[in-house]
Amino acid sequence: MYNVSNQHAPIPLENSTAARLLNLLNPSPPNFHIRSNQPSDPNSIYTEKRALTPSDLEEHLQGKIAVGLTMFVSELEVIRGEIDIDDFDGVNHRDGKPLPGHAKLIGKLEQLGLPFILSVSKSGGFRLSLFLKKPTAAAVVRRYLKSCLPLLGLPETTEVFPKQNQLGKGHGNSTIAPFANGQIAHSSQGELDVEGYIACAEDNRVEIVDAPPCIQHGLISGFDVGCRDIGIHNLAVYLHQQGQLDRFVDLAPRCLKKPFEKPYDYEKKREQIEEKQYEGFTGCGDCQFKATCSAKVSKPGKETVLTKAIGFLRRNYTIQFDEHFGSITVDGQLLDDAISANFQKCFAETFGQDISRDKIDTATRLVAHEKITNWWNDWLDALPTWDGVDRFEIIAKDISGVPAPIYPVYLKKTLIASIVRAFYKEGIESPPLIKQMLVLAGAQDSGKSSLVYNLLPVPPAGCRIFTDSVSVSQLSQKPADFWASLLGIVFGELAEMVGNKKDNVDALKNIISSTSPRVRLPYGRYHVNVRISAVLIGTINPGSLGFLKDPTGSTRFFVIPCRKVEIGETFDLDYIRDNREQIWAQALHAYYQGEKHWLDTPKLKKMQYDHNKEFYYLTPRAEDLIESIERLKQFDHISNYRIGEEIPGILPHEIESAMRYAGWMKVNMKSFKARIPNEKGEIEFKSIPAGWISPELAAAGNKSDIVRRYYEMLYDKETIGY
């Protein structure tokens, strides 16, 4: 018998009992909890945000700590389930009393054929553990666990794990791993040590299907003698609904706890189900699972044309809905009119009756949404581990011809923005707000569009993830067509970006920052929220004029000036194609490390501002004002009133853009304040008067540093322009 208090000699972890137990419980939990068993702090609970290792479970098995880990292996799927029993045989464990009769509970499990392993805690509580052959939807596992409660005589309030059908922002509720703090495990053969527990769990692994509870239990534990006929009938109905009726003859005999006394004609039952087209299940009136079952009940009758079409499509085709492209695929091909027409033809040949195009299209949509995929997410998830080489620096230098440190940042954050839009959990998280756009500014035919295109992988046949025809004017004229054109797009190129008209600039800003616009798509009946996956990239030939009009709004644009290329020359596209996966792997690594898709430090913002200045579009009036502002360099702080005195005729609305362009920072008393020592060394709360501070003072550091530096210069009247 394995004793959790024993100290073990070190053994190779890859072959250890702990490693096997970890693989059984959850080979890759996103994090785990630890409850310390140290006498100094016996109830300390904390979360380790790292991968669980066999070493952790070694300490758990030795009684040093108690490890709790989640059963979720993805957003929707779990690898095991548990029932936590506090109330059994009239005793409530919450009252501090140990539960009686674990042998009685084991007898029930054996009688019912339920595949659980029973654990008894040191204080006398019970826990039933279920192990699955493959990751299964949490909702399906929860439904099965709840259906087991009445069979075992347990209250419906008994806790089952997982507690939720889908992960939120956390990682789901954790449960303490077996053999913690003197916990003992049992099977029908007696008490289990750790090796025995693992072996028993492996033998008891089950596959749970999304079926009514009676069929779930029949597939796992077998149908009892009193309900064999109804069970076998409903199993056939279920398989027919799933398009798997051909499995019935082989599967049905294995779902009986005791064979029929007389030979049973399974083939005849299969033909009966196929001929009579049962829409629902029978014999459900007295079913013990009625409280936890929502299956449709019906009497035998002819199936409707629609439900017949659904079954026909399930049986003969692999139909899926890709949520990234918003499209349906049939056997790997994009659904089109020809495929739909072929559905009609094959249906008529199979059943001897015609079906309308509307009905076959409705059936196709219903079947497709039973299997939802996401090609773009799958491609990102399959990327190799980043090898540590900074390829954004190499690409940025190739584009610009100069080693500017801000340009690699622009490229990386653009890809991170795309990953953020791909991975956000709809209905759980708010849609991501992407407020920036990469702009490649250079001569025509230099390869700007090709560069963007080659950053992306090859999409499935008939699909597209890049477009170079994004039109700003279409947003106001035909918004539904505009957003429909971006479905499935990863990068959308806004060629020759935008003119200097204010309405174009405003429309562009609206497009960049849109999260989930609500429109009625072409041929759609209802308004829907369109999930935006596209990140826009602008390309422009700036010529001799700038194209950024508003210094305050230009922070949305990550501008990279492209180097001059000779005729026939282009950027190193071969390098991008050859290193595409590692380029995205680097961005994905940065995303998982918590890097933001915006410029999140004052240093980066200052670098962006300095680089964008050469692309501002300035009117003759603005140029005159900026020249006048040069005279203000003698000041470190100046108010709007004093600016008006120094530059006669300047209008209030002109001060903002001209001062920002010249590099001055706007300050106010509310935000620029800090606790600093006065001349006597006493700490006082000080703030800077409203106005503007010079670029030199703005570079003093954070707001506290700026306030401190301002007061150091306060008595130098020549530099403070009140």
What pLDDT, on a 0 to 100 scale, did the predictor assign at position 301? 46
- Classify residue 456 as left (phi > 0), alpha (psi -120 to 50) or beta: beta
Longest dimension (CA), the chain: 110
In a domain, 160, yes or no: yes
More confident residue, 276 or 136: 136
In a domain, 299, yes or no: no
Q: Where are the beta strands (DSSP E) in 485-611?
A: 491-495, 518-519, 528-529, 535-540, 557-561
- 3-state per-residue secondary structure call for 440-460: EECCCCCCHHHHHHHCCCCCC
Structural domain that includes position 164:
13-203
Q: Please, which pLDDT band fits residue 662 given cuts at 50, 70 and 90?
A: confident
Q: How many helices (H) and strands (E) does the chain have?
A: 27, 29
Containing H/E element for 329?
strand 327-330
Q: Please, which pLDDT band fits residue 401 given cuts at 50, 70 and 90?
A: confident
**Statement: residue 590 has pLDDT above 90:** yes
CATH number at residue 163: 3.90.920.20
Region 309-335: mean pLDDT is: 88
**Rounded-to-integer distance, Cα 611 and Cα 559, Å:** 8
In a domain, 272, yes or no: yes
What pLDDT, on a 0 to 100 scale, did the predictor assign at position 22? 81
In a domain, 3, yes or no: no
Instruction: Read off the pLDDT of residues 18-54 as tens digits, 9 standing for 90 and up.
Output: 888 888 887 665 555 565 544 445 455 566 656 677 8
**Domain end (from 157, 176, 203):** 203
Domain match, 173 and 232 both: no
Region 554-578: mean pLDDT is: 82
Residue 391: φ, ψ to 5°:
-80, -20
Instruction: Read off the pLDDT of residues 225-244 as tens digits, 9 standing for 90 and up.
Output: 667 777 888 888 888 877 78
Instruction: Read off the pLDDT of residues 356-366 as tens digits, 9 standing for 90 and up.
Output: 999 999 999 99
Domain match, 367 and 445 both: no
Domain match, 459 and 519 both: yes
Instruction: Read off the pLDDT of residues 155-199 as tens digits, 9 standing for 90 and up.
Output: 888 889 888 888 765 666 778 888 887 788 888 778 888 899 999
Read off the pTM.
0.56
**Rounded-to-integer distance, Cα 19 and Cα 286, Å:** 46
What pLDDT, on a 0 to 100 scale, did the predictor assign at position 499? 47
What pLDDT, on a 0 to 100 scale, did the predictor assign at position 98? 62
CATH number at residue 421: 3.40.50.300
In a domain, 208, yes or no: no
Domain match, 361 and 386 both: no
**Rounded-to-integer distance, Cα 502 and Cα 499, Å:** 8
In a domain, 182, yes or no: yes
Domain match, 57 and 185 both: yes
**Rounded-to-integer distance, Cα 226 and Cα 718, Å:** 101
**Statement: residue 14 has pLDDT above 60:** no
Residue 73: φ, ψ to 5°:
-115, -10
What pLDDT, on a 0 to 100 scale, did the predictor assign at position 300? 45
Max avg pLDDT among 214-223, 288-297, 501-510: 214-223
Radius of gyration from C-alpha coordinates of the chain = 34
The answer to whether 563 and 400 are in contact (CB under 8 A) is yes
- The verdict on whether omega for the bond into residue 620 sits within 30 degrees of 0, i.e. cis, is no
Q: Look over the chain and give the mean of its residue pLDDT values, rounded to a whole number.
A: 78
Domain match, 198 and 325 both: no
The answer to whether 48 and 31 are in contact (CB under 8 A) is yes
Max avg pLDDT among 3-17, 38-52, 375-389, 656-670: 375-389
**Statement: residue 440 has pLDDT above 80:** yes
How much of the chain, in percent, has pLDDT values that exceed 90?
15
The answer to whether 692 and 643 are in contact (CB under 8 A) is yes
Q: How many domains is the chain built from?
A: 5
How much of the chain, in percent, has pLDDT values that exceed 70?
75
Region 311-326: mean pLDDT is: 88
385 DSSP 8-state letter: P
Neighbouring C-beta atoms of residue 123, cutoff 10 Å: 13
**Statement: residue 280 has pLDDT above 60:** yes
Domain match, 368 and 394 both: no
**Domain end (from 373, 406, 422):** 373
Per the document, the length of the chain is: 722
Environment class of 267 (CB within 10 Å of its CB; exposed 0-12, middle 13-18, buried 19+): exposed
Beta bridge partners of residue 569, listed in sequence order: none
**Rounded-to-integer distance, Cα 391 and Cα 385, Å:** 14
Q: Please, which pLDDT band fits residue 10 given cuts at 50, 70 and 90?
A: very low
**Domain end (from 599, 614, 629):** 614
Domain match, 350 and 401 both: no
How is residue 353 written in tokens?
């009756």
The answer to whether 337 and 462 are in contact (CB under 8 A) is no
In the block, residue with structure tokens 């230099």: 446
Region 704-722: mean pLDDT is: 66
Q: Please, which pLDDT band fits residue 326 given cuts at 50, 70 and 90?
A: confident
**Rounded-to-integer distance, Cα 38 and Cα 46, Å:** 14
In a domain, 324, yes or no: yes
Collapsed DSSP state (helix, strand, coil) of residue 519 = strand
In the block, residue with structure tokens 């961005």: 587
Domain match, 357 and 388 both: no
Q: Please, which pLDDT band fits residue 3 given cuts at 50, 70 and 90?
A: very low
Region 385-411: mean pLDDT is: 91
Region 565-589: mean pLDDT is: 88
Domain match, 236 and 196 both: no
Instruction: Read off the pLDDT of residues 595-608 as tens digits, 9 standing for 90 and up.
Output: 999 988 888 888 88
In a domain, 297, yes or no: no
Domain match, 231 and 194 both: no
Domain match, 126 and 177 both: yes
Instruction: Read off the pLDDT of residues 94-125 as tens digits, 9 standing for 90 and up.
Output: 665 666 677 888 888 888 888 899 988 766 77
**Rounded-to-integer distance, Cα 15 and Cα 222, Å:** 36
What pLDDT, on a 0 to 100 scale, did the predictor assign at position 231? 80
Q: Please, which pLDDT band fits residue 6 given cuts at 50, 70 and 90?
A: very low
